[in-house]
Amino acid sequence: MEKRTEEYIIDCSALSMRFGKITALDNVDLKIPYGENYGLLGPNGAGKTTLIRILCGLLKPTGGSASVMGRRQPDRRNNLSIGYMTQMDALYSDLTIRENVRFFASLYGQQGHEREKCIDDILDITRLSDRQNSIVSTISGGMRKRASMACVLVHRPKLLFLDEPTVGVDPQLRCELWKYFHYLNNEGVTLIVSTHVMDEAEHCNRLAFIRDGRKLIEGSPAELKEYTSCDNLEAAFMKFSEGGQ
Protein backbone atom coordinates (compact mmCIF):
# COMPACT_ATOMS: atom_id res chain seq x y z
CA MET A 1 0.00 0.00 0.00
CA GLU A 2 1.20 3.51 -0.86
CA LYS A 3 2.42 5.35 2.24
CA ARG A 4 0.77 8.69 2.85
CA THR A 5 2.96 11.43 4.26
CA GLU A 6 0.73 14.48 3.91
CA GLU A 7 -2.08 15.42 6.28
CA TYR A 8 -4.42 16.95 3.72
CA ILE A 9 -6.01 15.31 0.72
CA ILE A 10 -6.47 18.80 -0.79
CA ASP A 11 -4.07 21.64 -0.26
CA CYS A 12 -4.50 24.84 -2.31
CA SER A 13 -2.31 27.85 -1.92
CA ALA A 14 -3.07 31.27 -3.46
CA LEU A 15 -5.00 29.44 -6.18
CA SER A 16 -6.17 31.69 -8.99
CA MET A 17 -7.89 31.17 -12.31
CA ARG A 18 -8.51 33.81 -14.93
CA PHE A 19 -10.46 33.40 -18.15
CA GLY A 20 -9.44 36.50 -20.08
CA LYS A 21 -10.87 39.39 -18.07
CA ILE A 22 -12.91 37.14 -15.79
CA THR A 23 -11.36 36.15 -12.48
CA ALA A 24 -13.06 32.87 -11.60
CA LEU A 25 -10.80 32.15 -8.59
CA ASP A 26 -8.87 34.73 -6.66
CA ASN A 27 -6.09 33.69 -4.27
CA VAL A 28 -7.87 30.75 -2.66
CA ASP A 29 -6.19 28.93 0.23
CA LEU A 30 -7.88 25.67 1.10
CA LYS A 31 -6.83 22.69 3.20
CA ILE A 32 -9.11 19.66 3.46
CA PRO A 33 -8.10 16.64 5.58
CA TYR A 34 -8.54 13.04 4.44
CA GLY A 35 -12.01 11.61 5.10
CA GLU A 36 -13.78 14.99 5.26
CA ASN A 37 -17.32 15.64 4.03
CA TYR A 38 -16.80 19.18 2.75
CA GLY A 39 -19.21 21.57 1.07
CA LEU A 40 -18.41 24.42 -1.31
CA LEU A 41 -21.30 26.81 -0.97
CA GLY A 42 -21.77 29.83 -3.19
CA PRO A 43 -24.10 31.58 -5.65
CA ASN A 44 -24.09 30.97 -9.41
CA GLY A 45 -20.80 31.99 -10.95
CA ALA A 46 -18.95 31.99 -7.59
CA GLY A 47 -16.18 29.73 -8.90
CA LYS A 48 -17.15 26.35 -7.40
CA THR A 49 -17.05 24.34 -10.63
CA THR A 50 -13.80 25.99 -11.68
CA LEU A 51 -12.25 24.97 -8.36
CA ILE A 52 -13.46 21.39 -8.76
CA ARG A 53 -12.18 21.20 -12.34
CA ILE A 54 -8.72 22.32 -11.21
CA LEU A 55 -8.75 19.80 -8.34
CA CYS A 56 -9.72 17.03 -10.78
CA GLY A 57 -6.82 18.01 -13.04
CA LEU A 58 -9.08 19.12 -15.90
CA LEU A 59 -7.95 22.76 -15.80
CA LYS A 60 -4.52 24.22 -15.16
CA PRO A 61 -4.65 27.20 -12.79
CA THR A 62 -3.24 30.53 -13.93
CA GLY A 63 -1.79 31.20 -10.47
CA GLY A 64 -0.90 29.47 -7.20
CA SER A 65 -1.04 25.73 -6.68
CA ALA A 66 -3.48 22.90 -5.97
CA SER A 67 -2.19 19.64 -4.51
CA VAL A 68 -4.30 16.51 -4.35
CA MET A 69 -3.02 13.52 -2.36
CA GLY A 70 0.36 15.21 -2.16
CA ARG A 71 0.70 15.75 -5.92
CA ARG A 72 0.43 19.06 -7.66
CA GLN A 73 -2.47 19.04 -10.13
CA PRO A 74 -2.71 18.34 -12.99
CA ASP A 75 -1.02 14.97 -12.33
CA ARG A 76 -2.31 11.90 -14.18
CA ARG A 77 -1.35 9.63 -11.28
CA ASN A 78 -4.27 11.10 -9.30
CA ASN A 79 -6.86 10.16 -11.91
CA LEU A 80 -7.54 6.63 -10.68
CA SER A 81 -8.28 7.91 -7.17
CA ILE A 82 -10.77 10.61 -8.21
CA GLY A 83 -14.46 10.39 -9.06
CA TYR A 84 -16.35 13.40 -10.42
CA MET A 85 -20.11 13.51 -10.76
CA THR A 86 -20.93 16.55 -12.88
CA GLN A 87 -24.26 18.37 -12.99
CA MET A 88 -25.16 16.60 -16.25
CA ASP A 89 -25.56 12.85 -16.67
CA ALA A 90 -22.81 11.38 -18.83
CA LEU A 91 -24.67 8.28 -19.98
CA TYR A 92 -25.03 6.69 -23.41
CA SER A 93 -28.77 6.53 -24.04
CA ASP A 94 -28.67 3.56 -26.40
CA LEU A 95 -26.59 1.33 -24.11
CA THR A 96 -27.91 -0.63 -21.15
CA ILE A 97 -27.14 0.45 -17.59
CA ARG A 98 -24.58 -2.35 -17.22
CA GLU A 99 -22.91 -1.50 -20.55
CA ASN A 100 -22.57 2.13 -19.45
CA VAL A 101 -20.98 1.13 -16.14
CA ARG A 102 -18.70 -1.33 -17.92
CA PHE A 103 -17.58 1.40 -20.32
CA PHE A 104 -16.48 3.61 -17.42
CA ALA A 105 -14.83 0.70 -15.62
CA SER A 106 -12.80 -0.03 -18.77
CA LEU A 107 -11.75 3.62 -19.04
CA TYR A 108 -10.25 3.24 -15.57
CA GLY A 109 -8.33 0.16 -16.66
CA GLN A 110 -10.49 -2.48 -14.99
CA GLN A 111 -10.80 -5.72 -16.90
CA GLY A 112 -11.96 -9.33 -16.83
CA HIS A 113 -13.46 -11.00 -13.81
CA GLU A 114 -12.38 -8.27 -11.37
CA ARG A 115 -14.15 -5.63 -13.48
CA GLU A 116 -17.39 -7.63 -13.61
CA LYS A 117 -17.21 -8.12 -9.81
CA CYS A 118 -16.85 -4.33 -9.28
CA ILE A 119 -19.81 -3.76 -11.62
CA ASP A 120 -21.95 -6.30 -9.74
CA ASP A 121 -21.07 -4.63 -6.42
CA ILE A 122 -21.85 -1.07 -7.53
CA LEU A 123 -25.11 -2.09 -9.26
CA ASP A 124 -26.10 -3.79 -6.02
CA ILE A 125 -25.24 -0.76 -3.87
CA THR A 126 -27.11 1.64 -6.20
CA ARG A 127 -30.05 -0.83 -6.36
CA LEU A 128 -29.85 -1.24 -10.11
CA SER A 129 -29.14 -4.96 -10.34
CA ASP A 130 -32.70 -5.78 -11.42
CA ARG A 131 -32.65 -3.17 -14.18
CA GLN A 132 -29.04 -3.56 -15.33
CA ASN A 133 -30.10 -4.75 -18.79
CA SER A 134 -32.52 -1.87 -19.42
CA ILE A 135 -31.60 0.58 -22.16
CA VAL A 136 -30.87 3.97 -20.56
CA SER A 137 -33.32 5.87 -22.82
CA THR A 138 -36.16 3.85 -21.24
CA ILE A 139 -35.39 4.42 -17.54
CA SER A 140 -36.70 7.08 -15.12
CA GLY A 141 -34.83 10.26 -14.13
CA GLY A 142 -34.10 8.87 -10.67
CA MET A 143 -32.67 5.71 -12.12
CA ARG A 144 -30.49 7.75 -14.50
CA LYS A 145 -29.07 9.57 -11.49
CA ARG A 146 -28.25 6.28 -9.77
CA ALA A 147 -26.75 4.91 -12.99
CA SER A 148 -24.52 8.01 -13.21
CA MET A 149 -23.43 7.38 -9.63
CA ALA A 150 -22.60 3.77 -10.52
CA CYS A 151 -20.42 4.95 -13.45
CA VAL A 152 -18.55 7.46 -11.27
CA LEU A 153 -17.99 4.98 -8.43
CA VAL A 154 -17.21 1.72 -10.19
CA HIS A 155 -13.43 2.29 -9.91
CA ARG A 156 -13.78 2.91 -6.15
CA PRO A 157 -12.39 6.46 -5.93
CA LYS A 158 -10.95 7.72 -2.64
CA LEU A 159 -11.88 11.32 -3.43
CA LEU A 160 -15.33 12.06 -4.78
CA PHE A 161 -16.48 15.40 -6.20
CA LEU A 162 -20.22 15.92 -6.39
CA ASP A 163 -21.35 18.99 -8.31
CA GLU A 164 -24.87 19.88 -7.16
CA PRO A 165 -25.66 16.17 -6.79
CA THR A 166 -29.34 16.38 -5.90
CA VAL A 167 -30.54 19.37 -7.92
CA GLY A 168 -33.76 18.47 -9.75
CA VAL A 169 -34.13 15.27 -7.76
CA ASP A 170 -37.31 14.42 -5.80
CA PRO A 171 -37.13 14.41 -1.97
CA GLN A 172 -37.18 10.62 -1.68
CA LEU A 173 -34.25 10.10 -4.05
CA ARG A 174 -32.39 13.03 -2.46
CA CYS A 175 -32.68 11.32 0.90
CA GLU A 176 -31.56 8.01 -0.62
CA LEU A 177 -28.55 9.59 -2.37
CA TRP A 178 -27.44 11.33 0.82
CA LYS A 179 -27.70 8.09 2.76
CA TYR A 180 -25.40 6.60 0.17
CA PHE A 181 -22.93 9.55 0.28
CA HIS A 182 -22.75 9.21 4.09
CA TYR A 183 -22.13 5.49 3.70
CA LEU A 184 -19.21 6.22 1.33
CA ASN A 185 -17.87 8.86 3.70
CA ASN A 186 -18.01 6.39 6.59
CA GLU A 187 -16.06 3.95 4.42
CA GLY A 188 -13.29 6.57 4.20
CA VAL A 189 -14.13 8.32 0.92
CA THR A 190 -13.49 12.08 1.06
CA LEU A 191 -16.49 14.00 -0.28
CA ILE A 192 -16.36 17.46 -1.83
CA VAL A 193 -19.85 18.76 -2.56
CA SER A 194 -20.55 21.89 -4.56
CA THR A 195 -23.98 23.35 -3.92
CA HIS A 196 -26.26 26.29 -3.42
CA VAL A 197 -28.97 24.09 -1.94
CA MET A 198 -29.05 24.53 1.84
CA ASP A 199 -30.44 21.05 2.39
CA GLU A 200 -27.27 19.63 0.87
CA ALA A 201 -24.99 22.00 2.76
CA GLU A 202 -26.47 20.83 6.08
CA HIS A 203 -25.25 17.31 5.27
CA CYS A 204 -21.60 18.46 5.19
CA ASN A 205 -19.33 18.54 8.26
CA ARG A 206 -17.51 21.65 7.06
CA LEU A 207 -18.38 24.33 4.54
CA ALA A 208 -16.64 27.13 2.71
CA PHE A 209 -18.65 30.11 1.50
CA ILE A 210 -17.37 31.18 -1.90
CA ARG A 211 -18.27 34.38 -3.72
CA ASP A 212 -16.63 36.17 -6.66
CA GLY A 213 -13.88 33.56 -6.71
CA ARG A 214 -12.92 34.12 -3.08
CA LYS A 215 -13.24 31.94 -0.03
CA LEU A 216 -15.01 34.20 2.45
CA ILE A 217 -15.24 31.97 5.47
CA GLU A 218 -15.04 28.33 6.46
CA GLY A 219 -16.58 26.35 9.31
CA SER A 220 -19.13 23.79 10.37
CA PRO A 221 -22.78 24.61 9.54
CA ALA A 222 -23.31 25.47 13.24
CA GLU A 223 -20.25 27.78 13.32
CA LEU A 224 -21.34 29.63 10.17
CA LYS A 225 -24.82 30.19 11.59
CA GLU A 226 -23.36 31.41 14.86
CA TYR A 227 -20.90 33.72 13.13
CA THR A 228 -23.65 35.38 11.07
CA SER A 229 -26.13 35.35 13.97
CA CYS A 230 -28.57 33.51 11.72
CA ASP A 231 -30.64 30.55 12.79
CA ASN A 232 -30.47 28.83 9.42
CA LEU A 233 -27.88 28.35 6.70
CA GLU A 234 -30.08 29.95 4.07
CA ALA A 235 -30.08 33.26 5.94
CA ALA A 236 -26.33 33.00 6.67
CA PHE A 237 -25.65 32.31 3.02
CA MET A 238 -27.81 35.27 1.91
CA LYS A 239 -25.89 37.55 4.25
CA PHE A 240 -22.64 36.47 2.62
CA SER A 241 -23.99 36.41 -0.93
CA GLU A 242 -25.18 39.97 -0.62
CA GLY A 243 -21.82 41.04 0.75
CA GLY A 244 -23.28 41.58 4.21
CA GLN A 245 -20.19 40.20 5.96
Work out how close the CB of 236 gets to ligand ATP at its nearest, in angstroms, rounded to a whole number.
Answer: 17
Site map 104..143 versus ligand ATP, x via CB under 6 A: ----------------------------------------
Can you count the helices (H) and strands (E) in the chain? 8, 10
Exactly one of 5, 44, 133, 229 binds ligand ATP (CB under 6 A); which one? 44
Exactly one of 15, 48, 149, 166 binds ligand ATP (CB under 6 A); which one? 48
Query: What is the end-to-end Cα distance of the chain in Å, rounded?
Result: 45
Work out how close the CB of 49 gets to ligand ATP at its nearest, in angstroms, rounded to a whole number.
Answer: 3
**Is the CA virtual torsion 215, 48, 105, 148 positive or negative?**
positive
Convert 39-59 to b/e letters by CB count within 10 Å (16 or more is b): bbbbbeebbbbbbbbbbbbeb
**Is position 189 an interface residue for ligand ATP (rule: CB under 6 A)?**
no
Closer CB to ligand ATP, 45 or 141, in the complex: 45
> Residue 221, preceding bond cis, omega within 30 degrees?
no
The residues pairing with 191 across neighbouring beta strands, listed in sequence order, are 37, 160
Closer CB to ligand ATP, 96 or 195, in the complex: 195
**Site residues (vs ligand ATP, CB under 6 A):** 19, 22, 24, 42, 44-50, 196
